[in-house]
Chains A and B, each alone.
Chain A
Amino acid sequence: MNVLIIEDEEALAHELEIFLNTNNYVTDVCHNGASASEKIATSLYDFILIDLGLPDYEGLDLLKEAKKNNPDAACIILTARAEINDRIRGLDLGADDYLPKPFSLLELQSRMQAIMRRKFGLKQNIVELGDFLINLTDRTITCQDAVVNTITKKEFDLIAYLILNKNRTLSRTQLSEHIWGSVINDDYDSNYIDAHIKNIRKKLNVYSAPDWLETVRGLGYKVKMNT
C-alpha cells in the first residue's frame, strides 16, 4: 500500500512515516503543498493524508488535485482546525475521512483499514479467536454455532479495535480515546475500560474461555493471535 503523507510539521510527518512503515505501508512524505502537488501529479497512491493547514497551499485545493490525478486514492484529511465547516467542505470534495488533530496513530490505522474494507473488498472480515468467530463486517460473534448476543455495541467496538491492533498492547487511554473519542466530557479517567473488559470476559465465558483477550500488567490489554 502506497501512502503519501502531506504534513508541514516535519516531526509529525516523521512519526507518521515510522508508524506506517512498521505496519507495512510504503510512504512518501511532502512537507509543503508545492512538492505534494507534484507528487500527486506524477505518482499513484492508495492513500493520501492531507494536512489542511499548509503554509504555501490551500489544503482543499490539494484534495481537488488528488481527486483528479489519483482518483483511486483514498484521501484522509488531517487538521488542527477543528471546524465543522472544514469537515463538511472536506467530505463534500470527496475526502474519505477526516481526522482532527491530535489523533492517535492507531485511530489513523483503524480508519485506513475501514476505508480499505469499504473500497477494496466486500468479503466478510471474519476472525477466528479460540472457539469464537468474530465477524467484523456484520459485527457478530459466534461460538460453535451459538450466537453471542449479549455483547453491547461499545463492547464490540473494544473487541474490534483490539483485533485490528492484534498482538499489540493497547493502553486504557488509547482504548477509551477510541470508544469515547467523540464525546466531549471532563473526565480523563479511563478506568471504565477495565469494567468493560471485565464484562466482555464474563459474557464470553458463558460460551468458552476467551484466553486470547490478555491483560498486560500495568500496561493495558491485547488480543493475541497467531498470524
Chain B
Amino acid sequence: MKLKTKLTLFNAISKLVIVVLFVLLVPLLIKRISRNYVDNNLIKQQKKFLQIVKDQGIKNYIPDGETYGSYYLPLKEEYLTIETDTVPGHNIDTIKNERRLVERDTIDYRILSHTFEIGNHKYLLEIGKSVATLDETSAPLQNIAFVVLIGMILLTILADSFYTNRVLNPLGLIIKTKLIGQKFPNFGPYKEVRTSTSDFQYLDISIHKMIETIEAAFQKEREFISNASHELMTPISILQSKIENMFGQEDVADELKVRLLEMLKILNRLKSITKTLLLISQIENEQFLKEDQISINQLLQEVYDEISVRLAEKNLTFDILVPENVTLVNVNRFLLFNLFFNLVNNAIKYNKEDGEIAITTELESGNLVVNITDTGVGISPEDMPLIFNRFKKVRQSMQQDSFGLGLPIVKSIAAFHDIKIEVDSVKNVGSNFRLIFPLQLVKK
C-alpha cells in the first residue's frame, strides 16, 4: 500500500473514531453540565429564599395558620413549596430528580429539598425545575455541537489530505523519476527533486549518489572491457598472424605444421572465449541498436543454412513450423540470429542420432511464443538452475568441445530484447526452450 493511501486511511479512521466518541459522550456531558448548572441555580435560589425569610420572616410565604405554601410558574416549569415539617430530627438537604403530580399532570422535576428552622418551627423547602425544560435547552446545544464538530472534522480531513499530498509529493516524484522508469544501467542526468523536507532531500541525494556509484562502476567495467578487448585482441592477433605466416612457409616440415595447427586451434579457442565474453558485455552495456525487422521463418532458414551440415552429421530431422508472416520488429538481427543459432546448435549437440528438432510458434495471452523442441538427452532438474550460468558445463559428461557460453549468450540476448525464456526438460526424452516475445516486438 502506498504511504499516501496509508496516511489518508489512518486520517479518516481516526476522525471517525473521534466522531463516534463525541456522539457517545456529548449527551452525557451536556446532561452533566446542565445538571450542575441547574443545581447551582437551585442552591442560589435557596440562599436567596433563606435570606428573604431571614429578612422578612416566613409569613410572606406561609400565611398564618397555614402549614403549606406553594408557588408555580404558569407553565409549571418551576415551582417552590414550603411546608412545616412535623417530623422531628428529620433534616433533609438534597437535590434529586423526582416526579410530582401537579394538577393532574405528572411532571419530572429536579428538586432541591432543604429543611430549616425559624423560631421553634421547622420547615421543609422544595424548589423544583422541570427536567423537560432542561432537555429542551440541551438538545439544540447538542445539535450545534454536532454540526460544528462535523464541519471541523471535514475541514481537518481536507486540510490533512491536502497537506499530506503536498508534503509527500516529492517522495512520489523521487520514486517515479528516480526508481520506476529508470532502466538499469542507463540513468539519465541528475535532476534535483524540489522539496523542503530534509528527509526527502536526503533520500533524493542518496539515491543520486548510489546511481552515480553504479554508473561509475559500469563506466569502469565498460572501459575495462574496451581496454581488455584491445589488450587481448592485439596479442592474439599477433600470435595468429605469426603462426599463419609460419604455416604458410614452404620450408616448414609437415610434423611442425601439425603442431602449428594445434597452436592455432588453441589460439582460436582463446579468441572465441574472448569474443564471446566481449559480446555478452557489449549486450549488457546496451551497445547494440534494436532497429531491424525480420521474419522469424527467414531467420530460421538462415540458421538452417549455417548449420545444416551439423544436422546431417547426426541425421536429425529439422522442422521449421513457423508461419511466414510472423515478423519481429525493433530487434537486432545479428543478435537474434545468434540467439536462434545457439539454441538450435545446442539442440543438435545434445540430440541423439536420428533425433528430431522442431520449431513451432503459438499465441499465448497475446504474446508470441516460439518453441524449440528437441529429442535429446534432456536436463536433470538439479542442473536446470545452472544452465544459464557462464562457464558452467552442466552436461559435461557429453564431452563436447564447448566452453559453456552458449546459453549465457542466449540469456543476454533475450534479456536485451525483453524476451522471456522458459525451459522444460525430461531427462533422456528431450528439452523444450520457450521464447516468449513481448507484444511490442511482434509486428501486427
Contact residues of A with B, CB < 8 Å? 9, 11-12, 15-16, 18-19, 22, 53, 80-85, 100-106, 152-154, 168-169, 171, 173-174, 177, 180, 182-190, 192, 195-196, 199, 218-220
What are 10 A-B residue pairs whose CB atoms fall within 8 Å in the complex? A19-B244, A22-B245, A81-B226, A83-B287, A185-B342, A186-B406, A187-B400, A189-B400, A190-B268, A196-B309
- Determine whether the beta carbon of B309 is less than 8 Å from that of A154: yes
Complex contacts, A154 vs chain B, CB 8 Å: 305-306, 308-309
Question: Which residues of B from 213 to 257 have beta carbons under 8 Å from A?
Answer: 226, 229-230, 233-234, 236-238, 240-242, 244-245, 247-248, 254, 257
Known: A102-B236, A187-B345. A84 touches B261 (CB 8 A): no
**Size of B's binding interface in residues, CB under 8 A:** 55
Known: A153-B305, A188-B268. A103 touches B237 (CB 8 A): yes
Interface of B (DSSP majority class): helix
Whether a CB of chain A sits under 8 angstroms from the CB of B163 is: no
- Determine whether the beta carbon of A219 is less than 8 Å from that of B257: yes
From residue B407, how far is it (CB to closest CB) to chain A in Å?
Answer: 8
Task: Give the interface centre of A83, A186, A199 by most chain B CB atoms within 10 Å.
Answer: A186
- Determine whether the beta carbon of A195 is less than 8 Å from that of B313: yes
Bound-state CA distance A102–B402 (Å) is 20
Complex contacts, B342 vs chain A, CB 8 Å: 184-186
Whether a CB of chain A sits under 8 angstroms from the CB of B36 is: no
Question: Which residues of B from 321 to 347 have beta carbons under 8 Å from A?
Answer: 334, 337-338, 341-342, 345
From residue B400, how far is it (CB to closest CB) to chain A in Å?
Answer: 8
From residue A196, how far is it (CB to closest CB) to chain B in Å?
Answer: 5
Complex contacts, B258 vs chain A, CB 8 Å: 218-219
Bound-state CA distance A19–B68 (Å) is 146
- Cross-chain contact of B261 among A9, A106, A173 (Cβ < 8 A): A173
Complex contacts, B309 vs chain A, CB 8 Å: 154, 192, 195-196, 199
- Cross-chain contact of A195 among B237, B288, B312, B403 (Cβ < 8 A): B312
- Determine whether the beta carbon of B241 is less than 8 Å from that of A188: no
- Determine whether the beta carbon of B278 is less than 8 Å from that of A82: yes
- Determine whether the beta carbon of B240 is less than 8 Å from that of A18: no
Bound-state CA distance A199–B311 (Å) is 13
Complex contacts, A22 vs chain B, CB 8 Å: 245, 248
Known: A171-B264, A188-B269. A19 touches B234 (CB 8 A): no
- Determine whether the beta carbon of A185 is less than 8 Å from that of B305: no
From residue A53, how far is it (CB to closest CB) to chain B in Å?
Answer: 6
- Determine whether the beta carbon of A9 is less than 8 Å from that of B305: no
Of chain A, the residue at the smallest CB distance from B240 is A102
> 1/0 per residue B105-148: CB within 8 Å of A?
00000000000000000000000000000000000000000000
Whether a CB of chain A sits under 8 angstroms from the CB of B275 is: yes
Bound-state CA distance A100–B240 (Å) is 13
Whether a CB of chain A sits under 8 angstroms from the CB of B177 is: no
- Cross-chain contact of B245 among A15, A53, A84, A220 (Cβ < 8 A): A15
Task: Give the interface centre of B230, B265, B268, B313 by most chain A CB atoms within 10 Å.
Answer: B268
Complex contacts, B296 vs chain A, CB 8 Å: none
From residue A76, how far is it (CB to closest CB) to chain B in Å?
Answer: 14
9 closest A-B pairs by CB:
A15-B241, A102-B237, A189-B401, A80-B233, A186-B406, A102-B236, A80-B230, A186-B405, A101-B237
Bound-state CA distance A186–B402 (Å) is 5
Complex contacts, B265 vs chain A, CB 8 Å: 171, 173, 188, 190
Complex contacts, B182 vs chain A, CB 8 Å: none
Whether a CB of chain A sits under 8 angstroms from the CB of B293 is: no
Bound-state CA distance A150–B226 (Å) is 44
Known: A173-B264, A188-B402, A219-B258. A105 touches B276 (CB 8 A): no
- Determine whether the beta carbon of B306 is less than 8 Å from that of A184: no
Complex contacts, B405 vs chain A, CB 8 Å: 186
- Determine whether the beta carbon of A185 is less than 8 Å from that of B338: yes
Complex contacts, B238 vs chain A, CB 8 Å: 9, 11-12, 15
- Determine whether the beta carbon of A19 is less than 8 Å from that of B245: yes
Bound-state CA distance A108–B418 (Å) is 37
Whether a CB of chain A sits under 8 angstroms from the CB of B26 is: no
13 further contact pairs, Cβ within 8 A, besides A80-B230, A84-B282, A192-B313 = A12-B238, A102-B237, A152-B305, A152-B308, A174-B244, A180-B306, A183-B341, A185-B409, A186-B342, A186-B402, A186-B405, A188-B272, A220-B261
Bound-state CA distance A224–B264 (Å) is 23
- Cross-chain contact of A186 among B240, B245, B276 (Cβ < 8 A): B276
Bound-state CA distance A174–B258 (Å) is 14
Complex contacts, B278 vs chain A, CB 8 Å: 82
Bound-state CA distance A96–B265 (Å) is 30
Bound-state CA distance A120–B58 (Å) is 147
- Determine whether the beta carbon of A219 is less than 8 Å from that of B261: yes
From residue A140, how far is it (CB to closest CB) to chain B in Å?
Answer: 18
Complex contacts, A53 vs chain B, CB 8 Å: 230
> 1/0 per residue B428-443: CB within 8 Å of A?
0000000000000000
From residue B182, how far is it (CB to closest CB) to chain A in Å?
Answer: 23
Of chain A, the residue at the smallest CB distance from B226 is A81
Complex contacts, A16 vs chain B, CB 8 Å: 241
> 1/0 per residue B134-175: CB within 8 Å of A?
000000000000000000000000000000000000000000
Whether a CB of chain A sits under 8 angstroms from the CB of B279 is: yes
Bound-state CA distance A101–B276 (Å) is 14
Whether a CB of chain A sits under 8 angstroms from the CB of B271 is: yes
Of chain B, the residue at the smallest CB distance from A23 is B248
From residue A194, how far is it (CB to closest CB) to chain B in Å?
Answer: 9
Of chain A, the residue at the smallest CB distance from B278 is A82
Whether a CB of chain A sits under 8 angstroms from the CB of B289 is: yes
- Determine whether the beta carbon of B233 is less than 8 Å from that of A15: no
Whether a CB of chain A sits under 8 angstroms from the CB of B378 is: no
> 1/0 per residue B15-27: CB within 8 Å of A?
0000000000000
Complex contacts, B400 vs chain A, CB 8 Å: 187, 189
- Determine whether the beta carbon of B261 is less than 8 Å from that of A186: no
From residue B214, how far is it (CB to closest CB) to chain A in Å?
Answer: 22
